[in-house]
C-alpha cells in the first residue's frame, strides 16, 4: 500500500490526510444516523404500544 504512510493506516504518519479525516467523519455521521433512526423507531413502537400519549 503506497499511501499507508499518508493515511496512517499502518500506524505511521499523522493521520491528517483529508481522505482519512473524511472517512472518519463519514463513519461517525453514519453512526449518528443509525442511532437517530433507532431512536425514532423506538419512539414509534412506544406510540403504537400506547406507552406515549
Q: Has residue 7 been placed in a domain? A: no
Reported as a single tens digit per residue, the pLDDT across 8-51 is 455 555 656 677 778 888 888 889 999 999 999 999 999 888 88
- What per-residue confidence (pLDDT) applies to 21? 77
The domain total for the chain is 1
Range of the domain at 33: 18-52
Q: Has residue 29 been placed in a domain? A: yes
- What per-residue confidence (pLDDT) applies to 4? 46
* Pairwise pLDDT comparison (32 vs 1), residue with the higher score: 32
Dihedral angle, C-alpha 3, 1, 15, 19, nearest 10 °? 60
Q: Distance between CA 25 and CA 53 in Å, rounded?
A: 37
Q: Has residue 38 been placed in a domain? A: yes
Q: Distance between CA 1 and CA 20 in Å, rounded?
A: 14
* Pairwise pLDDT comparison (27 vs 1), residue with the higher score: 27
Q: Has residue 6 been placed in a domain? A: no
- What per-residue confidence (pLDDT) applies to 27? 86
Amino acid at each position: 500500500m503506497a499511501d499507508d504512510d499518508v493515511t496512517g493506516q499502518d500506524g505511521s504518519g499523522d493521520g491528517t490526510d483529508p481522505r482519512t479525516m473524511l472517512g472518519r467523519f463519514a463513519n461517525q455521521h453514519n453512526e449518528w444516523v443509525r442511532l437517530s433512526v433507532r431512536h425514532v423507531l423506538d419512539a414509534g413502537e412506544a406510540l403504537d404500544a400506547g406507552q406515549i400519549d
